[in-house]
Amino acid sequence: MSAMQRLFAQNNRNVSLVDCLSFEIMDSLEIKYAFAFDRHFEENGFTIAAFHNPDIK
């Protein structure tokens, strides 16, 4: 799947093309963990490897 296909499949205005491209690259390299503050990574099957509590806003 390409990043553009993933973007259209997401049907979520909060997910960017850059996020989708990151997901595609991470999938192709079999990367399972993301150092990110963005919950979209978790929603797309990656584990957030964060040093903070993502529930605190």
DSSP character at residue 54: T
Kindly state whether residue 41 falls inside one of the protein's structural domains. yes
Kindly state whether residue 53 falls inside one of the protein's structural domains. no
Kindly state whether residue 54 falls inside one of the protein's structural domains. no
Query: How far apart, in whole angstroms, are the C-alpha atoms of residue 16 and residue 7?
Result: 7
Kindly state whether residue 34 falls inside one of the protein's structural domains. yes
Kindly state whether residue 31 falls inside one of the protein's structural domains. yes
Kindly state whether residue 55 falls inside one of the protein's structural domains. no
How many domains does the chain contain in total? 1
Reading the chain (57 residues) residue by residue, the pLDDT tens digits are 788 888 888 777 788 888 899 999 999 999 999 988 888 899 999 998 866 666 665
* Partners of 34 in beta bridges: 48
pTM of the predicted model, to two decimals? 0.73
Q: Which domain holds residue 22?
A: 3-48
Query: How far apart, in whole angstroms, are the C-alpha atoms of residue 5 and residue 43?
Result: 17
Residue 39: its pLDDT value, please? 86
Kindly state whether residue 38 falls inside one of the protein's structural domains. yes
Query: How far apart, in whole angstroms, are the C-alpha atoms of residue 17 and residue 57?
Result: 25
Q: CB under 8 Å to 6, separation ≥6 — which residues? A: 20, 23, 24
